[in-house]
Amino acid sequence: MKDKVVAVTGAAGVLCSTMVEDFLEHGAKVALIGRHKANVSALARAMKRKGFAETLVVEADVLDRAALERGVKKILRKWGRIDVLLNGAGGHHPKGVAKAEQMTPDTPKEETFLGMEMEAFAFVNRLNFLGTVQPCQVFLPALIASRGSIVNISSMAAWQPMTKGAAYAAAKAAVSNFTYWLANHLAPMGVRVNAIAPGFFITNQNRFLLLEADGETPTARGRKVIGHTPMGRFGDPKELCGPVRFLVSDDARFVTGVVLPVDGGFMASSGV
């Protein structure tokens, strides 16, 4: 990673800020892209306190093309190249989650699919799917110039939707599918495109689903997840760093179009 320039969207989030620190520890220069300047600036200051000065704050919503274009220019002005794009921005919307796991004749309508709001579906789809597609397009000329690579963030839900989170599962399935498509499309240009599919890591976007209000006790759903994970626990965000660093490294130069589960075996297990 030494002196590679990495751009991370959603950089201040729980998973991505961990990966940002890992990239810096390994000698990369990291552009911290976020919607809220205060959050990415706070991350840059926190990294500086740890001795990592090679960051650049880029204020950009992944759905705001003009802001992303300004971001690319800012990064190229400072460092002259971009080697890696990590598309980390993503998340749920509470109204895109059905309260009931299954619909029965007795389930209150507002807890079922009938109660889910189309605007929430559109929000989740825009954020996770278009919020991945658009940065790929805007950063591509710089990545072609460096023969760089892209890492998207999919989810277990892309293969097997969890109950409740319909909008998110469909949007992440689109991210995986697009990862395959773009990998093929860009192979002749020397740009590799892969994704990771994290299992279950406690972060701001899923805390309300997996932990009780005390922030420690797993909910019934959280216990189910742990029970279905052969390794018997939630993941630690640090456990995503090695797989991502591998995907963007020269060791993975013949690896493209892969969606790599990092999930303690969740995907491999049928549960019976």
Give me the active site residues, please: 168
Cβ 156 to ligand NAD, closest distance in Å?
7
SS3 for the chain is CCCCEEEEECCCCHHHHHHHHHHHHCCCEEEEEECCHHHHHHHHHHHHHCCCCCEEEEECCCCCHHHHHHHHHHHHHHHCCCCEEEECCCCCCHHHCCCCCCCCCCCCHHHCHHHCCHHHHHHHHHHHHHHHHHHHHHHHHHHHHHCCEEEEECCHHHCCCCCCCHHHHHHHHHHHHHHHHHHHHHHHHCCEEEEEEECCECCCCCHHHHECCCCCCECHHHHHHHHHCCCCCCECHHHHHHHHHHHHCHHHCCCCCCEEEECCCCCCCCCC
The verdict on 112 binding ligand NAD (CB under 6 A) reads no
Q: Does 95 bind ligand NAD (CB under 6 A)?
A: no
Q: Is 219 in the site for ligand NAD (CB under 6 A)?
A: no
155 touches ligand NAD by CB under 6 A: yes
CB-nearest residue to ligand NAD: 13
* Sign of the torsion formed by the C-alpha atoms of 226, 213, 87 and 16: negative
Beta carbon nearer to ligand NAD, 9 or 256: 9
Specify the residue for token string 């790929």.
136
Residue type, 147: R
- Is residue 12 within the footprint of ligand NAD (CB under 6 A)? yes
For ligand NAD, the closer CB: 116 or 156: 156
Work out whether 90 is an interface residue with ligand NAD (CB under 6 A). Answer: yes
Nearer to ligand NAD, 12 or 150 (CB): 12
Q: Which is nearer to ligand NAD, 16 or 120 (CB)?
A: 16
Stretches 19-27, 87-95, 115-123, 213-221: which one binds ligand NAD (CB under 6 A)?
A: 87-95
16 binds ligand NAD (CB under 6 A): yes
Contact 195, 152 (CB under 8 A): yes
Q: Which of 1, 5, 7, 9 is the binder for ligand NAD (CB under 6 A)?
A: 9
Contact stretch for ligand NAD (CB under 6 A) within 46-54, 59-67, 247-255, 264-272: 59-67
The interface region with ligand NAD, picked from 19-27, 114-122, 203-211, 243-251 by CB under 6 A, is 203-211
Q: Is 135 in the site for ligand NAD (CB under 6 A)?
A: no
- Does 261 participate in binding ligand NAD (rule CB under 6 A)? no
Please identify, using beta-carbon distances, which residue of 127 and 193 lies nearer to ligand NAD: 127
Contact residues for ligand NAD (CB under 6 A)?
9-10, 12-16, 34-35, 61-63, 88-91, 127, 131, 153, 155, 198, 200-201, 203-206
